[in-house]
Amino acid sequence: MTDMAGKQPPAGAGTFWLYKQHDLLLGPVPYEAIVEQLYSGDIDGSTPICEQGSGLDFKPLGDNPLFFVHLAKANAKLKVEAQHRDVVQTRRRALGLKAVLVTLLALLGLIAIGFGARYLAVNRPWERKVVLPDPIITDELPLIALASRNKAALDDDEGMAYPTSPSGAGAQGAVTPPKAPGTRSRATTSARPRLPAGVGARADRDGLHSHQTWDEDSIQRILAAKKKTLHPCLTAESHRQDDPAWSARIPLEFTVANTGKVSKLWIDHHDYKSESSELHKCMFKVLGGWQFPPYEGEQANVSMVFNVRAR
């Protein structure tokens, strides 16, 4: 018997079936319901089934020829659907990872913007900074004298004395410590002590004799060669003032120890007397690299004056 379209009905059409799922006996259901559950994946080829009225002789669905074709089609359909689900899940994972990366990049961008805004607020690169030219620096003739002559004055925080010229004659700006009233000279020019060979002697205005063995010419040569190494300190101080009209006369004095190294520095300017001033620290560091010839006896003090004028 054929249907109205002339097609042969399915072999199992009109039959009813029993089946088991997880120790449950289900049915009877029509043949078409069994086929539908195959395609939905609710049952598969291992599901026990038996036709109603044939006893309870359950056999796997895959062993029944009535379901061979539908079982193959159902397996193919379910396989395609599983592959599609895998593709969808892979895409979702990729999209999730991409979303996480975008979020991290956005956070990093916000952090970079924050640092950039702080840098701009602090440094203001759009504001053109005024670069002051280097100042004009001149110096006066250095003076060298015995350190003991002016020790008391050099240790006075209110000021400092400048030693007399090497020849003994007073130089411009030189100061000689005053003699106490009523004090007699302990030595006179006619009663100078005799000195060993190679040792010089100098007499101050009170007739006192001091021993020296340092070489004044060598010190002067080193001063002439090295004094410009102090100019960067003066230039830096001029730039710190940030004043186009700034100028200063900066006298300084330092002691050359017997080792030939500079042991102490004084700057006779009210702004730079303190050892914590930037100019004092810079100059003392530079002077620390100077090396004079070692000598014995009384130590030498060197007085220098720098005149600094901004351009």
DSSP assignment of the chain? ---TTSPPPPTTTT-EEEEEETTEEEEEEEHHHHHHHHHHTSS-TTSEEEETTS-S--EEGGG-GGGHHHHHHHHHHHHHHHHHHHHHHHHHHHHHHHHHHHHHHHHHHHHHHHHHHHHHHHH-TTSPPP-PPPPEEEEPPPEEEEGGGGHHHHT-TT----PPPTTSS--TT---PPPPTTPPPS--GGGPPP--TT-EEEE-TTS-EEEE---HHHHHHHHHHHGGGGHHHHHHHHHHHT-TT-EEEEEEEEEE-TTSSEEEEEE-STTT-STTSHHHHHHHHHHTT--PPP--BSPEEEEEEEEEE--
Query: Which pLDDT does position 124 carry in this prediction?
Result: 74
Q: Which of 22-31, 111-120, 185-194, 234-243 has the lowest mean pLDDT?
A: 185-194
| HSE (side-chain half, CA atoms, 13 Å) at 23 | 0
Higher pLDDT, 281 or 54: 281
Query: Which pLDDT does position 118 carry in this prediction?
Result: 87
Higher pLDDT, 96 or 195: 96
What string of H, E and C letters represents the secondary structure of 149-210? HHHHHHCCCCCCCCCCCCCCCCCCCCCCCCCCCCCCCCCCHHHCCCCCCCCEEEECCCCCEE
Task: Say whether pLDDT at 190 is over 60.
Answer: no
Higher pLDDT, 208 or 194: 208
Residue in 8, 4, 50, 45 with CA at minimum distance from that of residue 31: 50
Query: Which pLDDT does position 52 carry in this prediction?
Result: 87
- The CA distance from 285 to 233, in Å, is 10
Query: Which pLDDT does position 100 carry in this prediction?
Result: 93
- The CA distance from 37 to 20, in Å, is 13
Q: Which of 80-89, 143-152, 154-163, 184-193 has the lowest mean pLDDT?
A: 184-193
Query: Which pLDDT does position 248 carry in this prediction?
Result: 93
Task: Say whether pLDDT at 264 is over 80.
Answer: yes
Q: What's the predicted TM-score (pTM) here?
A: 0.45
Q: Which of 33-47, 166-180, 207-221 has the lowest mean pLDDT?
A: 166-180
Query: Which pLDDT does position 177 carry in this prediction?
Result: 40
**pLDDT tens for residues 203-262?**
455 555 556 788 899 999 999 999 999 999 999 998 888 777 889 999 999 999 999 999
Arithmetic mean of pLDDT, 18-41: 90
Arithmetic mean of pLDDT, 171-191: 38
**pLDDT tens for residues 112-168?**
999 888 888 887 776 655 666 788 899 889 998 887 655 444 454 444 443 433 333
